[in-house]
């Protein structure tokens, strides 16, 4: 078996260790190493950031103005207007996307606005369709109950598909679209199915796992999706635990959190490590409070559990290190 000599091949090494090994091998100078280590992950001019802030303020004002002007306007007119404005922004997005730097980032922001307007248009048209009884005496979709979820589900499903496609072609717009649209879609599905809180928590947990599965890189977009997944997992854990007794509420949470912690630790995904830790904390503290009635004993029990987990982890790490140390050398040929 041939052993790789590339210092960057080991996924267990952090960036500084890889850089130090490259310098030691003479493949990188000290000056270049310092420049790489000190360079920020991303950089945006202050003027551009202030411009985004100003745009958000203007957008907030426009939303308030439009809300006042459209009061009482027919939904079809609003849907047509939103769709027309969204379509008019598409050429601007395509033009700006051909540029670089700030203009390319502006293209992504404009794309989000255009997509939001188009989704609003589809949602309003859908709401009008499912609430209008086109045949007298016939109400095929039970519109009194399902109008709003259907109006959210259709545009959210389209936006989710678009976000998944654009995720590989944009820096952040595709990831934000995927996260927001998929959460909206799942919320609409749970409302249409009229699921219990337990089933809803399980469905959102599955969605979070799906987001983690597609966000395995280190780009800002992938980190964003994992952050959203982390928030969803912690929220679903709280709901799940609140709906079950000690055993049924604790065991699934511990299993999911343990798997998540193992994967996140191997990949060094800090955001998911924090989420897994919070999930375990919710399960342990919640179970202890259900079983133990005395506040002092509750604290002692939680401390003992935490200490046991720490000792077990240290013991497993020592055994793993010992196995790697005493393993026979790899024969090269």
Cα–Cα distance between 93 and 103 in angstroms, integer? Answer: 10
Cα–Cα distance between 301 and 299 in angstroms, integer? Answer: 5
The residues, any chain, with a CB within 8 Å of residue 240's CB and separated by 6 or more, are 198, 201, 202, 205, 249, 252, 253
**Residue 118 dihedral angles phi and psi, to the nearest 5°:** -65, -40
pLDDT tier for residue 333 given thresholds of 50, 70 and 90: very low
Give the tens place of pLDDT for each residue, 30-44. Answer: 887 777 777 666 666
Tell me the two tokens of residue 178.
């995927």
Q: Does residue 145 carry a pLDDT above 60? A: no
**pLDDT for residue 284:** 84
Upper half-sphere CA count for residue 129 (Cβ side, 13 Å): 13
Give the tens place of pLDDT for each residue, 201-217. Answer: 999 999 999 999 998 88
DSSP alpha helix (H) spans, the chain: 15-24, 30-38, 46-69, 75-97, 102-131, 143-166, 173-193, 197-214, 220-242, 246-267, 270-291, 295-326
In this prediction the pTM is 0.73
**pLDDT for residue 101:** 81
Q: What is the DSSP letter of 319?
A: H
Range of weakest confidence among 122-136, 221-235, 246-260? 122-136
pLDDT tier for residue 57 given thresholds of 50, 70 and 90: confident
Nearest to 147 by CA among 123, 167, 169, 170: 123
């Amino acid at each position: 078996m041939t052993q790789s000599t590339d210092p960057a091949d080991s996924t267990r090494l952090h960036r500084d260790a890889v850089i130090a090994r490259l310098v030691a091998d003479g493949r990188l100078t000290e000056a270049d190493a310092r420049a790489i280590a000190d360079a920020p992950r991303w950089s945006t001019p202050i003027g551009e950031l202030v411009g985004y802030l100003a745009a958000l303020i203007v957008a907030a004002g426009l939303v308030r103005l439009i809300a006042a002007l459209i009061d009482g306007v027919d939904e079809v007119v609003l849907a047509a207007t939103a769709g027309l404005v969204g379509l008019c922004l598409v050429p601007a997005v395509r033009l700006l996307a051909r540029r670089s730097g700030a203009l390319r980032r502006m293209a992504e922001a404009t794309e989000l606005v255009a997509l939001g307007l188009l989704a609003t248009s589809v949602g309003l048209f859908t709401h009008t369709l499912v609430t209008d009884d086109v045949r007298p005496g016939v109400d095929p979709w039970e519109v009194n109950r399902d109008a709003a979820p259907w109006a959210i589900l259709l545009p959210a499903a389209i936006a989710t598909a678009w976000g998944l496609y654009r995720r590989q072609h944009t820096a952040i717009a595709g990831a934000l679209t995927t996260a927001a649209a998929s959460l909206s879609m799942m919320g609409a599905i749970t409302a249409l199915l009229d699921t219990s809180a337990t089933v809803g928590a399980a469905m959102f947990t599955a969605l979070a796992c799906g987001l983690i599965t597609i966000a395995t890189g280190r780009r800002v977009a992938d980190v964003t999706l994992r952050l959203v997944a982390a928030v969803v997992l912690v929220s679903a854990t709280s709901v799940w635990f609140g709906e079950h007794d000690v055993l049924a509420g604790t065991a699934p949470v511990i299993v999911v959190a343990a798997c998540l912690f193992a994967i996140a630790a191997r990949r060094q995904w800090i955001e998911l490590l924090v989420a897994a830790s919070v999930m375990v904390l919710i399960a342990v503290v919640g179970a202890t409070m259900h079983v133990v009635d005395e506040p002092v004993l509750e604290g002692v029990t939680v401390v003992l559990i935490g200490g046991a987990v720490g000792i077990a982890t240290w013991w497993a790490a020592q055994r793993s290190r010992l196995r790697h140390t005493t393993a026979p050398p790899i024969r090269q040929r």
